Structure 1
Amino acid sequence: MEETVNVSTQEKKRVSPQLENLKNVWRKLRSNYLAMAGGILIIFFIITSFAGPWIVQNDPLAPNVADRLQGPSAEYWFGTDHHGRDIFARIIHGMSITLYIGFTSVFIGMIFGVFFGVISGYYGKKIDAVIMRVMDVLLAFPGILLALGIVAVLGGSINNVIIAISIFSIPVFARIVRGSTLGVRQLEYIDAVRALGASDTRIIFLHILPNIMSPIIVQATLRIATAVLTAAGLSFLGLGAQPPDPEWGAMLAAGRDYMWEYPHITLFPGLAIVAVVLAFNLFGDGVRDALDPKLKT
Structure 2
Amino acid sequence: MTKDKSVMNMENRSLISRIFSNKTASISFIFILCLVFIAVIGPYLTVYDPNVPDTSNRLASPSAKHFFGTDHHGRDIFTRIIHGMPLSLYIGVISVLIGATIGVVLGMISGYYGGFIDSFIMRCMDVLFAFPGILLALALVSVLGNSLHHLILAVSIFLVPMFARIVRSSTLAICQLEYIDAMKVLGASDIRIIFKHIFPNIVSPIIVQATLSIASAILTASTLSFLGLGVQPPTPEWGAMLNEGKDYMYQAPHVAFFPGLAIMFVVLVFHIFGDGLRDVLDPKSKK
Normalized against structure 1, the TM-score is what? 0.91
Q: 1:196: Cα distance to partner?
A: 0.8
1:108 corresponds to which letter in structure 2? I
> Does residue 1:262 correspond to 2:252, yes or no?
yes
Q: What's the CA shift string for 1:206-264, capped at 9, x where partnerless? A: 10000011110000000000001101100000000101000000000001111112111
Aligned residue pairs: how many?
A: 282
From 201, 207, 220, the counterpart of 1:230 = 220
* Distance across 2 between alignment mates of 1:213 and 1:37: 22
Aligned residues of 1:70 and 1:80 also touching (Cα < 8 A): yes
* Distance across 2 between alignment mates of 1:194 and 1:35: 39
Partner of 1:288: 278
Aligned residues of 1:37 and 1:279 also touching (Cα < 8 A): no
Which has the higher Rg, Structure 1 or Structure 2? 1
Q: Secondary structure at the match of 1:212?
A: helix
Q: Secondary structure at the match of 1:22?
A: coil
Identity %: 60
* Distance across 2 between alignment mates of 1:71 and 1:156: 32
Unaligned runs of 5+ in 2: none
Q: CA 1:267 to 1:207, structure 2 compared with 1: closer, same or farther past 3 Å?
A: same
Normalized against structure 2, the TM-score is what? 0.94
Q: What's the CA shift string for 1:89-123, capped at 9, x where partnerless? A: 00000001100000000000000000100111111
Q: What's the CA shift string for 1:254-293, capped at 9, x where partnerless? A: 0111111211101111110011001101111011110113
Q: 1:27: Cα distance to partner?
A: 5.2
> Does residue 1:46 correspond to 2:30, yes or no?
no
From 70, 77, 100, the counterpart of 1:110 = 100
Q: 1:294: Cα distance to partner?
A: 2.2
Q: 1:75: Cα distance to partner?
A: 1.0
Q: What's the CA shift string for 1:170-207, capped at 9, x where partnerless? A: 01000000011011011101101111111111101110
From 114, 118, 121, the counterpart of 2:111 = 121
* Distance across 1 between alignment mates of 2:40 and 2:18: 30
Q: CA 1:205 to 1:20, structure 2 compared with 1: closer, same or farther past 3 Å?
A: closer
Partner of 1:156: 146
> Does residue 1:73 correspond to 2:63, yes or no?
yes
From 21, 24, 32, the counterpart of 2:12 = 21
1:111 corresponds to which letter in structure 2? T
Q: 1:19: Cα distance to partner?
A: 8.8
Partner of 2:181: 191
C-alpha RMSD of the superposition: 1.8
> Does residue 1:210 correspond to 2:205, yes or no?
no
Q: What's the CA shift string for 1:120-139, capped at 9, x where partnerless? A: 11111111111110000000
Q: 1:41: Cα distance to partner?
A: 1.2
Matches within 5 A, 1:90-105: 90-105=80-95
From 119, 122, 133, the counterpart of 1:132 = 122
* Distance across 1 between alignment mates of 2:224 and 2:70: 23
Q: 1:21: Cα distance to partner?
A: 3.1
Runs of 4+ with deviation above 6 angstroms = 17-20
From 236, 254, 276, the counterpart of 1:246 = 236
1:156 corresponds to which letter in structure 2? N
1:190 corresponds to which letter in structure 2? I
Aligned residues of 2:66 and 2:78 also touching (Cα < 8 A): yes
Partner of 1:11: none
Q: Secondary structure at the match of 2:12?
A: helix
* Distance across 2 between alignment mates of 1:53 and 1:295: 40
1:250 corresponds to which letter in structure 2? A
Q: Secondary structure at the match of 1:21?
A: coil
Unaligned runs of 5+ in 1: 1-13
